[in-house]
Amino acid sequence: MEKKKVMVGMSGGIDSSVTAYMLQKDGYEVEGCYLKLHDRTDGYHEKNIQYIEDVAKFLGIKYHILDLSDAFSKEVYDYFVDSYLEGTTPNPCVKCNRQIKFGKMLDFAKEQGASYLATGHYAKTDGKFFYEAEDKTKDQSYFLSQVDKEALPYMMFPLSKRKKEDIIEFAAKLDSAYKRITEKNESQEICFVETVYTDVVKRHANIDIPGKVLDEGGNEIGEHKGYMHYTIGKRRGFTVHGAHEPHFVTKLNPENNTIVVGKKQALEINEVKIENLNMFIDEKEFKCTVKLRYRAVSTACKVKLEENTGTIYLEEPAFGVAAGQLAVFYVGEKVIGSGWIKSAK
């Protein structure tokens, strides 16, 4: 019988390299695909491609290099910068998963005759839903929750039941091509942010225009160094005259370059408005738990949806909810949908 072809999204990192190995062992015909997503000139792509080349040689597989930098720049990078200009907190990996990896890379995989597209994400799928990975510390289901449901039947996550440390240990013994990858520094959180997000944003805007810190009544109580330096919940980097208790950022006002701060209770949120939904169920009213940012604990809630918007009524307050982040709905380990946070109160 002819082997089924799987395209593996290969980053040059350990997870996707082991993914390729595991699928080959399972009897699939494996091909790799490296996405060029940005124009870093510091040898970043060359290094990654060298790792992939060595792994491909060891496995005896073919790999492709797909330049999606134009699409990435429009759909992910510009959105990232614009979000900070607008005073919201973006999630570029969520956009990339929907538009680029499980959008354009999936199209490419199908064009190449692949039956599946596999990645080294830590998550599970049964073709209809995503589920949290076994290794909860590495779970990436949050980042996948905006992927179009049409894409799910093509997706494979062979690492879903593994622990990251086991993958590294396993890879180090496999071959020198793999061992070398385990010895490099692990990838950054956001692939195009080499240091901190402000280094990226300041290439496009003057982020260092000082402004006023306001209390909730609109009174001037201190100074800040430019609103783009702050995200909701931040408690450092601005002054509050005569304050003894810590103050937290509760609002950013780009229109007049002010930030609003308050004590911990001021961050408390009970209701969240969302938009641009991506649902895997048809119900418009349901109970579930919600994660209001990656690494947040889940909160029990009731949800009411309309056409492409909705309201989340939290059963317990959440703290530091930022517009621009994603609200992801879970029933147990199952992801039932998500929506982008528009406002919270």
Ligand X SMILES: Nc1ncnc2c1ncn2[C@@H]1O[C@H](COP(=O)(O)OP(=O)(O)OP(=O)(O)O)[C@@H](O)[C@H]1O
88 contacts ligand X (rule: CB under 6 A): no
Q: Interaction with ligand X in 154-183: which residues (CB under 6 A)?
A: none
Helix/strand/coil percentages in the chain, nearest 5: 30, 30, 40
Nearer to ligand X, 34 or 227 (CB): 34
Cβ distance to ligand X smaller for residue 168 or 296: 168
Which residues inside 4-33 make contact with ligand X, applying CB under 6 A?
9-11, 13-16, 33
Q: Residue 79 CB: number of other CB atoms within 10 A?
A: 17
- Residue pair 10/34 in contact (Cβ under 8 Å)? The answer is yes
User: What's the closest the beta carbon of residue 297 comes to ligand X, in angstroms?
Assistant: 21
Distance in angstroms (rounded) separating the CA atoms of residues 221 and 213: 6
Q: State yes or no: 9 annotated in a binding site.
A: yes
CA dist 236 and 246 (Å) reads 9
Choice from 34, 154, 238, 248 touching ligand X (CB under 6 A): 34
Q: Which of 93, 96, 288, 301 is catalytic?
A: 96
- Rg of the chain taking only CA atoms, in angstroms: 22
CB of 119 to ligand X, least distance (A): 3
* Closest CB 37 distance from ligand X, rounded Å: 6
Q: Is 14 annotated as a binding residue?
A: yes
Q: How far is the CB of 26 from ligand X (least distance, A)?
A: 16
Closest to 153 in 3D by CA, of 106, 98, 97:
106
Active site residue 191: yes
**96 belongs to the catalytic site:** yes
Residue 12, annotated as binding a ligand: yes
- Closest alpha carbon to 298 in 332, 261, 264: 332
String of contacts with ligand X for each residue 180-219, x by CB under 6 A: -------x--------------------------------
DSSP secondary structure letters along 78-127: HHHHHHHHTT----HHHHIIIIIIIIIHHHHHHHTT-SEEE---SEEE-S
Q: 95 or 121, CB closer to ligand X? A: 121
Buried/exposed code over 309-341 (b: 16+ C-beta within 10 A; e: otherwise): ebbbebeeebebbbbbbbbbbbeebbbbbbbbb
Q: Residue number with the shortest CB distance to ligand X?
A: 13
Site membership for ligand X, residue 52 (CB under 6 A): no
d(CA 95, CA 334): 20
Binders of ligand X among residues 104 to 143 (CB under 6 A) are: 119-121
Residue 39 CB, nearest approach to ligand X (Å): 13
Among 3-11, 264-272, 290-298, 322-330, the segment contacting ligand X (CB under 6 A): 3-11
- Listed residue (58, 63, 156, 139) closest to 102, CA to CA: 156
Q: Which residues are part of a known binding site?
A: 9-16, 35, 120
Catalytic residue annotation? 96, 191
Give the residues lining the site for ligand X (CB under 6 A).
9-11, 13-16, 33-35, 37, 101, 119-121, 187
Residues of each annotated binding site for ATP: 9-16, 35, 120
